[in-house]
Amino acid sequence: MVTLSRFDVGYPINSVLAILYGYLPHTCYAVEDSQTLIMLKCLQVEFRQVRSFLEKNLNEGQNEVPIRKIHLILVKLRLQAKRCGEFLAPQELLSIFMTMYSTGGSFFILVTVLSDRSIENSVGDLIMIAFTSIWPLLGISRLVAKIWMAVTITKEEMEIASLLKNEELQSKLGTYGTEYFSELRQVYNLLTANPTEVSFNNYVKLNNALILGVFQQIFTLFIILMQFR
């Protein structure tokens, strides 16, 4: 709104360029977040389709599920998740870095303004306080949305592992071949020993632990900045 209010009819070209420049960062953030969420959503849907396919075969009471086919699909999906993390690594590492330090700086500015009684409660001060309050929430919410989507991928894979475990227990009671039982055990161990997590070149993994790590860095930066007051 502030950017649009600066439109000057006498200088239309410069005004349009100023508006575009003002909205460019927000547009880039939106495009980046949309790209990341779409890629993560595609992975989630693919794992969910594998789970649905496995559930359908188990509910139909077939003697043996096509475990070899499921094994190959899961290997490809896990490789796809790895490549997704490698592709998103540069932009997401920068985004996490900017979120931590901009949020820590915003908290410092907010505390400094609120604790300074010499500052009058003018409209400009209130706008600055509102901006410094909203900006950290926006950055954290963007990160939490990506983590939530990535965690659902791991949960879908764990659901698949649970179904395979039940099938493995059933196979012990039936007359299944050794090869079938062995591959069931192999796929189950693959999913449980090394669950799929979106990793950014092994620097950061999109999981719940990342939220705690980010908050720890934010408060560390805030404490450091408070020493310079």
CB 95 within 8 A of CB 32: yes
Of residues 170 and 45, more confidence is placed in 45
Dihedral class, residue 194 (left if φ above 0, else alpha if ψ from -120 to 50, else beta) = beta
Q: What is the pLDDT of residue 1?
A: 45
Contacts for 130 with CB less than 8 Å, ≥ 6 apart? none
Query: Which pLDDT does position 65 carry in this prediction?
Result: 78
Distance CA 4, CA 106 (A): 24
pLDDT score, position 6: 56
Do residues 209 and 151 make contact, with C-beta atoms less than 8 angstroms apart?
A: no
Matching residue, tokens 């632990």: 209
Amino acid at 89: A
CA distance 166 to 172: 10
Mean pLDDT, residues 29-40: 84
Compute how many other C-beta atoms are within 10 angstroms of the C-beta atom of residue 168: 17
Q: For the segment 152-194, what is each residue's pLDDT rounded down to a tens digit?
A: 999 999 999 988 888 777 766 565 667 777 888 888 888 888 8
49-76 pLDDT, tens digit per residue, is: 999 988 888 787 666 778 888 899 999 9
Could you give the dihedral angle defined by the CA atoms of residues 12, 16, 17 and 22, in that order, rounded to the nearest 10 degrees? 140
- Domain boundaries in the chain? 29-226
How far apart CA 219 and CA 104 sit, in angstroms, is: 7
Average pLDDT, the chain: 80
Closest CA to 221 of 98, 125, 39, 121: 98
Higher-pLDDT residue of 20 and 95 is 95
> Amino acid letter at 226?
M
Helix (H) or strand (E) holding 205: strand 204-205
Task: Please give the torsion angle defined by the CA atoms of residues 55, 59, 63 and 65, in that order, rounded to the nearest 10 degrees.
Answer: -10
